Structure 1
Amino acid sequence: MTDMPLTGTATLATLPYALPECGHSRVALFAIRRMGAHGLGDARAAHVLFSTFGESFRRPLTLLRAFMADMAASAMQPIAIAPCCCARMTPAERTLLSVLARVETRSDSARLLMQDLLGQRGVDGVLASAAAVAAAFADEGRPLAM
């Protein structure tokens, strides 16, 4: 079998969505990607949140770590996360950001998305973590949007 170069079509099939226009959502996505690939204690994820939130970085960082841990513990199927350098998103990443953006305003929609993402119906704990993350960003003047 020969190695075939990745074509634009293959990239669009595996990473079909553009990055969010909202800069705050891009920060959240970067931290999610770093923690998903390198663990909850990733220094670069902590640094980007420190750079974004300044002295108030601890709350968003801690809540994002808890959210990631809750998702990992509750997921019944893999959640595809792209490397940090990718300029596009996986369907799972888009779903995650959509949940974070709408968990406080359209909770029924967020619940359905989270159920599909995790592959199970009992998602109350994970949704509570998502709401806490969204509130932490919003309270610091950085609401998440899709």
Structure 2
Amino acid sequence: MISATEEIAQQAKAGRVMRVTQTTAQNLQAVAISVASYEAETGHLPATTSHDAFKTALSPKFLTDTSVLVESGTDKPFSLNPAVSGKKRGKIETPGNVFLLATGPNAKGTRTVLFLSGEVRELGADGWDSLTAPQKPRPVPAEKSAPVASPAPSPR
């Protein structure tokens, strides 16, 4: 059985995790708006090959408060997806399944993730693993062959 003090401490920690997650989600939403503005003007996504390149692309024209580029409560920069650096969003088949920025795992083991669609979601370890797993190459469709005349019917 836990003491009342331990219970209060656990509740406070849970509340702190929730507040940090909410603030992190708000930071990611602010970044999403800045990225959309950048993309509307340039026609492509900003560089995501380094934190400096990402910050330089957005600030100060599209993002005046660069403090939103870090995880709340940790001051660690968000993880970037270099695979989308400089690409046109329209060329990405499923922007709702491709991440732009993400946090590291929090105390609950979840990550807060900003997708190219602008949506911010929390993902558990399984969701994150499936999102970042290497994609299997799609099978190449068979080439269309020219119709071939069927052999003459056999005499009966």
- The verdict on a shared fold, with TM-score over 0.5 as the criterion, is no
Q: TM-score, normalised by structure 1?
A: 0.33
TM-score (norm 2): 0.31
- The structure with the greater share of residues assigned to helix is 1
Return the structure number with greater strand share: 2
- Structure with greater contact order relative to length (CA < 8 Å, sep ≥ 6): 1
Please identify the structure whose Cα radius of gyration is greater: 2
